[in-house]
Amino acid sequence: MKKLKLIFILIPYILLSQEVTNSDITVFDESVLSIINKNAKIEILADSFIVAEGPLWDSSENRLIFTDVRQNKIFTWDENNGVREYISPSGSTGYAPSFSDGGIGANGLAFDENGNIILCQHGDRRLAFIPNIQNKNPKFTTIVDNFEGKRFNSPNDLTISKSGDIYFTDPPYGFKNFSDKYREINFNGVYKYSKDGEVFLISSNMSRPNGIALSLDEKYIYVNNSDPKNDPKILRFKTSNFEEKLFFDGTELSKKYPGGFDGLKVHSSGNIFTTGPNGVLIISTTGELLAMINYGKKITNCNFDNKEEYLYVTGFDDISRIKLK
């Protein structure tokens, strides 16, 4: 009987003394625990999408707005109503020569100073805006659709400065099977569209420029190269003179895990939350990998709610979130 009592006493002691591990998060630097909860779990909110993208938090309605690039639609999700179709079509209306199927819908989304939704439209090959209301027959207003008289490829993602300048990427993902049939620009660019209407080429050297985000002080833009087999990396450009620097090299991670560098966002701490190999990487302002959210598959983009309580993540077929601090 004494032996049994001893066993029952020891078992809870052993269990309590063991460190609790979380398969959803890997921490490499404990400083990151000031902004994430190491015990948080990935929560799937909805599925059955094809290429969910462009997550944008709408604090006025306490909801997530996001796109499905393949369905050519924009959806919303909130706690009470789940998923609702919101704007259709989203990125291909016949405005520009393009394919009739494939990745032709809107991709990256942002709000302008008036609360309108700015869209990167693959099929219409432009940046455009539309009021933030449900619409089954939308009329988009063009912001910019060309560089030096040549139509963009398929604008993909954007970030907006406090002064209203728009930085955006223009890879070929709207061209079905990367066909050159409708291509007018022979490179995949990173651009700045200034508030006074000028278009500046920041870079023509990236193979697949994709996600883009401004640093907190707006001295830099971070740009993901979504080319996991050939050149998986994040570049950093000075906004003052467009000087380029390698910020993060994902070569070794890409050999080990599925997924590539797609969308990214900057947290109020200055740290970068980026999609990448294995899910979401959290990277410091000096380019150090702090933590990894382990999705174990390819995902497309991420964004925060206005209070940074959750990180919302779009996969190809689902949307999810994970609790932060």
Give all domains of the chain, ordered by start, each with its CATH number: 21-323 (2.120.10.30)
Integer Cα distance of 226 and 258 in angstroms: 12
How far, in Å, CA of 145 to CA of 194, rounded?
A: 14
CA 263 to chain centroid, in Å, comes to 3
pLDDT digits (tens, 9 = 90+) for 171-193: 999 999 999 999 999 999 999 99
Task: Tell me the helix, strand and coil percentages in the chain, rounded to 5.
Answer: 10, 45, 50
Is the Cβ–Cβ distance between 135 and 190 less than 8 Å?
Answer: no
N residues, the chain: 325
Angle at 203 between CA 245 and CA 297, to 5 degrees: 70
Q: Does the pLDDT of residue 6 top 50, yes or no?
A: no
Label residue 190 left, alpha or beta by phi (over 0 means left) and psi (-120 to 50 means alpha): beta
Q: What is the pLDDT of residues 36-83, one digit of tens each?
A: 999 999 999 999 999 999 999 999 999 999 999 999 999 999 999 999
Q: Evaluate whether 111 touches 95 at the Cβ level (below 8 Å).
A: no
As beta bridge partners, residue 310 has: 323
pTM for the whole structure: 0.93
CA-to-CA distance for 190 and 200, rounded, in angstroms? Answer: 9
Q: 288, 29 in Cβ contact below 8 A?
A: yes
* Exposed / middle / buried, residue 86 (Cβ in 10 Å: 0-12, 13-18, 19+): buried
Q: Which amino acid is at 259?
A: G
Specify the pLDDT at position 14.
36
**61 dihedral zone (left: phi>0; alpha: psi -120 to 50; beta):** alpha
What is the pLDDT at residue 82?
98
pLDDT for position 9: 40
**Residue among 84, 97, 116 at smallest CA distance from 176:** 97
Strand partners, 14: none
Q: Is the pLDDT of residue 110 over 50?
A: yes
Distance between terminal CA atoms of the chain? Answer: 47
Q: How confident is the model at residue 7 (pLDDT cuts 50, 70, 90)?
A: very low
Both tokens assigned to 95: 């405005």
Q: Is the pLDDT of residue 151 over 90?
A: yes
